[in-house]
Amino acid sequence: MSKIKTDVVVLGAGPAGYVCAIRAADLGKNVICVEFDNLGGTCLNVGCIPSKALISAGHFMESTKHAATMGFTVETPQLDIAKLIEWKESIVKRLTGGIGMLFKNRKIEWVKGKGKIMTPNKIEVETADGKVEIECTDIVVATGSEPAPIPGFDFCEQVWSSTEALAPKELPKRLFVIGGGVIGMELGMFYAQVGTEVTVVEFMDQILPGVDPELCKIVQRKAKKAGMKIHVGSAAKSWKKTATGVEVIADIKGKEKTFEADAILLTVGRKPVTSEIGLENIGVKPDKRGFIPVNDQCCTKTPHVYAVGDATTGMMLAHKGSAQGLVAAGAICRQPGVAYDPKVVPGVIYTDPEIATTGLSEAECKERGLDIKVGRFNFGANGRAMSMQATDGLVKVIADAKDDTILGVHMVGPNVTDMISEGSLAIEGGLTVEDITLTIHPHPTLSEVFMEACEDVHGMSPHAMKK
């Protein structure tokens, strides 16, 4: 067994792990990153990035349907799924290769293999060339998450996780999606846009559970226009393979119904990868869902052992993980005042139209007994949205009725995933509705919709009909 010594070992190279490794190296530490798969983790390899590449292709296909309105004569595009997957993979390779270059630039060593924590200052890695023992001062657990199965629907050739849905060998004619959450709706809409018949079954009473129902209705309406069949308050019960694909039996609001499809896409959530990594050896016990408890410096109950990203409690978001990675690196390097304590963590969903949210929802404000005022403005009244033929959606701003501070911003519409940061900045900075309305927004832009929604909080939007 070969032995190595270093300052910091980061277990996992996803957005939480590789960002942590880079920051720790920038702050003067010798760093080793242990990762058994490609650099970049789920997000860059089989998650955020490849899914957005396919979604962009779906949007392109969808946009050609409106070409005649703008005076173009366009033949119906024919999709070569192999070339699309090849293009998607080229993007993934460029980004993961970029991480490798960043590691090399900072002299971060990548030990490729499966790591297991033996003591608070020792990790054992099973590599292709044998075991490697790494001694260190600090350990950061950034092992990420993986798709969660449900009873009776184990992943196989016919039952896909998001990983298989991102690299189909051929385009299915019919796809049965179990779970109308973020992944199910994002990928379901892509497949619908490129010609697949898509059926979605969601257990809760709305798609995208937890998201403002006002926003969800707009997405569901667009999904139905794209031909998607959506059943809420329903559940898949069993399935079997047939000569032509699969047969799924589902409970549709209390009535049993049979569906035929070529494949099943199971997207009921993800679970943290925290078992079999040696946590029991250092006295760290995950909670009942598998998440590792940490303090505001991302340190576990065991000194010098940190955890970040999907392995910790909270939303499973790449940007949340990266933020925690920076905090953990700062804590390890004894930076003063470093802590993970955001007011808000924005959420973005790449459906058509997109959804972006930050801060409190109306329901959460009511639960807390807050006195609020709400402003709305539709993209249908925005010139830039009209010129893009993307007028579905709105921006909703929630403000404290007492001091006018912005409590929440909820958007559904074109490019809102790029617009939401202004809302997050406003909440983090304790800005008021008036602060936004007095900030001149360029015209014609989509960002004006946020400004107009803020004006509407006080019924003063110049481009809205008086109530």
The pLDDT tens digits for 235-280 are 999 999 999 999 999 999 999 999 999 999 999 999 999 999 999 9
- Domain assignment present for residue 464? The answer is no
Respond yes or no on whether the N-terminal peptide bond of residue 303 is cis (omega within 30° of 0).
no
pLDDT (average), residues 73-80:
91
Give the pair of three-digit tokens for residue 397: 């701003």
Calculate the alpha carbon distances from 46 to 51, 199, 396, 413 in Å: 7, 23, 32, 25
Note the pLDDT of residue 326.
Answer: 98
What domain count does the chain have?
A: 3
pLDDT for 27 beyond 90? yes
341-352 pLDDT tens trace = 999 999 999 999
In whole angstroms, give the CA distance from residue 461 to residue 442: 16
pLDDT at 352: 97
**Is it the case that residue 369 has pLDDT exceeding 80?**
yes
**Co-location of 288 and 212 in the same domain:** no
CATH of the domain at 107: 3.50.50.60
Alpha carbon distance 290, 272 (integer Å): 6
Within a domain: residue 466? no
381: domain CATH number is 3.30.390.30
pLDDT of residue 379: 98
- 381-396 per-position pLDDT tens digit: 999 999 999 999 999 9
> Percent of the chain, pLDDT > 70?
100
Residues 311 and 364 in one domain: no
Does one domain contain both 211 and 286? no
For residue 247, tell me if it sits in a domain.
Answer: yes
The alpha carbon dihedral of 419, 423, 429, 435 has a sign of: positive
What residue numbers bound the domain in which 210 lies?
A: 159-268
Which pLDDT belongs to residue 364?
97
Mean pLDDT of 47-51: 96
For residue 442, being part of any structural domain is answered with yes
Q: Based on the domain organization, do 190 and 309 belong to the same domain?
A: no
* 85 shares its domain with 96: yes
pLDDT for 65 equals: 86
Residues 228, 108 share a domain: no
Read off φ and ψ for residue 84, nearest 5 degrees: -65, -45
Q: Which pLDDT score is estimated for 442?
A: 98
- Is position 342 within any domain? no
Neighbour-count burial of 68, counting CB atoms closer than 10 A to its CB (0-12 exposed, 13-18 middle, 19+ buried): exposed
Which bin fits 310, alpha (ψ -120 to 50), beta or left (φ > 0)? alpha
pLDDT at 52: 96
* Mean pLDDT taken over the chain: 97
pLDDT in tens, 325-334: 999 999 999 9
Does residue 62 sit in the same domain as residue 12? yes
71 and 215: one domain?
A: no
Does 33 reside within a domain? yes
Q: Is residue 388 located within the same domain as residue 402? A: yes
- Shared domain for 395 and 283, answered yes or no, is no
Q: Distance between CA 218 and CA 213 in Å, rounded?
A: 9
Residue 340 belongs to a domain: no
Give the residue from 224, 250, 268 where a domain finishes: 268
In three-state form (DSSP H/G/I as H, E/B as E, the rest C), the secondary structure along the chain is CEEEECCEEEECCCHHHHHHHHHHHHCCCCEEEEECCCCCHHHHHHCHHHHHHHHHHHHHHHHHHHHHHHCCCCCCCCCCHHHHHHHHHHHHHHHHHHHHHHHHHCCCEEEECEEEEEECCEEEEEECCEEEEEECCEEEECCCEEECCCCCCCCCCCEECHHHHCCCCCCCCEEEEECCCHHHHHHHHHHHHCCCEEEEEECCCCCCCCCCHHHHHHHHHHHHHCCCEEEECEEEEEEEECCCCEEEEEEECCEEEEEEECEEEECCCEEECCCCCCHHHHCCCCCCCCCECCCCCCECCCCCEEECHHHECCCCCHHHHHHHHHHHHHHHCCCCCCCCCCCCCCEEECCCCEEEEEECCHHHHHHCCCCEEEEEEEHHHCHHHHHCCCCCCEEEEEEECCCCEEEEEEEEECCHHHHHHHHHHHHHCCCEHHHHHCCCCCCCCCCHHHHHHHHHHCCCCCCCCCC
Mean pLDDT, rounded, for 136-160: 96
Could you give the residue numbers annotated as active site?
Answer: 443
Among 218, 246, 268, the domain boundary falls at 268
Does residue 154 belong to any structural domain of this protein? no
| Final residue in a domain of this structure, among 332, 358, 385 | 332
Binned at pLDDT 50, 70 and 90, residue 74 comes out as confident
Q: Which amino acid is at 321?
A: G
Asked if 192 and 245 sit in the same domain, the reply is: yes
pLDDT at 362 over 80: yes
pLDDT for the residue numbered 333: 98
Q: Are residues 22 and 122 in the same domain?
A: yes
Checking if the pLDDT of 467 tops 80, the result is no
Provide the pLDDT for residue 363.
96
204 φ, ψ to 5°?
-75, 175
Q: How many CA atoms lie within 13 A of 402 on its CB side?
A: 3
